[in-house]
Structure 1
Amino acid sequence: MAKTFPLCAAALLTAALPLIAGCAPAGSAEAGASALTPKQAKTLDKQLAGKVAGKPMNCLPNYRTTDTIRVSDNILLYRSGGNLVYRNDLKGGCPGLARDSDIMVVEQFGSQVCSGDFFHLVDRSSGIRGPTCVFGDFVPYRKPAGDKG
């Protein structure tokens, strides 16, 4: 019986490896980030081009943003004019966010959204509530002073 145990364990491990590998994030430029599709990478590059990351902020006041851009299931961008963009890497991601077809319902208390606050997606046609998602820190990206491009 001792000889069959290693064979059974090896068979289970061999069967489970593809499943385990499917859960691991694919390669990307940033540690811990899920790989972006070429279209998503192009969107991110376009929005952050020529801008420099600043110190992460815990909260983002509502009046600071004019546009929300869904880059992927893990990344949201908040534009505040042409020279400032806030990047939010969600905690744990948000399945379906990148489709950009569901409505984002932010559970907000006060006049700002903070790291750790929740939002969920709602299907636009059926009204069925989707996943609950969690904001991460807001990292400002600004054009350097004197940069007119």
Structure 2
Amino acid sequence: MRRLAAVLLIAGVGLGAGGAALAKRDTPELAYQKLIAGKVAGKPQSCIDTRFRQAQLSAYGDKLIYRVSDKLVYVSQTTGGCERVAQGDALVTRQYQTRTCSGDIATTVQPVPGITTGSCALGDFTPYTKP
């Protein structure tokens, strides 16, 4: 019985430490501000080419970020509903060409079970470049 109590106590301490680490995480807005720090916003574009090599997609709140390189990111302000990309869900869009445009509807899907978890309309894409 004492062993069980010791194991539960240690597990509780571990969970408490994990909770403290989670509390120190940046808010989506702060993480977004860090991402664009030192970059200059360009003229918003209605469409972007999606044939980027090694482009990474992430989300910060209701903003989708296409990170082309350390020097170039595109930010699309969505209508909300695609925030689960930040938690690992896949973003699915229907494309009839090699471009993604504002107004396109995207859905988020959990990769393993294939369950749709949300949807949003994409906004204009603002390029942020590092001078």
Shared fold (TM-score, shorter chain, > 0.5): yes
The reply on whether 1:106 has 2:56 as its aligned counterpart is no
C-alpha contact 2:46 2:124 (8 A) present in aligned 1: yes
Aligned-partner residue type, residue 27 of structure 2: K
**Separation of aligned partners in 1, 2:67 and 2:90:** 18
Q: Which runs of 5+ in 2 are unaligned?
A: 1-24
C-alpha contact 2:58 2:86 (8 A) present in aligned 1: no
- Superposed counterparts of 1:1-149, under 5 Å: 38-64=26-52, 66-72=55-61, 74-90=62-78, 92-94=79-81, 96-97=83-84, 99-144=86-131
Q: Equivalent residue for 1:12? A: none
Q: Which runs of 5+ in 1 are unaligned?
A: 1-36, 145-149
**Separation of aligned partners in 1, 2:121 and 2:94:** 10
Aligned-partner residue type, residue 138 of structure 1: F
Normalised TM-score (structure 2): 0.71
Q: Which aligned runs of 4 or more in structure 1 are off by greater than 3 angstroms? A: none
Report the secondary structure of 1:43's partner residue. helix
**Separation of aligned partners in 1, 2:68 and 2:82:** 26
Assess, with a 3 A threshold, how the Cα gap between structure 1 residues 95 and 118 changes in structure 2: closer, same or farther: closer
**Separation of aligned partners in 2, 1:89 and 1:39:** 17
C-alpha contact 2:58 2:85 (8 A) present in aligned 1: no
**Separation of aligned partners in 2, 1:123 and 1:140:** 28
Alignment identity in percent? 33
Alignment size in residue pairs: 106
**Separation of aligned partners in 2, 1:39 and 1:54:** 25
Q: Which whole-Å deviations, capped at 9, do the CAs of 1:84-124 have from their partners, x for residues lacking one?
A: 1111100x211542542322111112001000111111123
Q: Equivalent residue for 1:10? A: none
Assess, with a 3 A threshold, how the Cα gap between structure 1 residues 69 and 137 changes in structure 2: closer, same or farther: same
Aligned-partner residue type, residue 126 of structure 1: P
Q: Whose Rg is larger?
A: 1
Alpha-carbon RMSD across the aligned residues, in angstroms, is 2.0
TM superposition shift of 1:48: 0.4
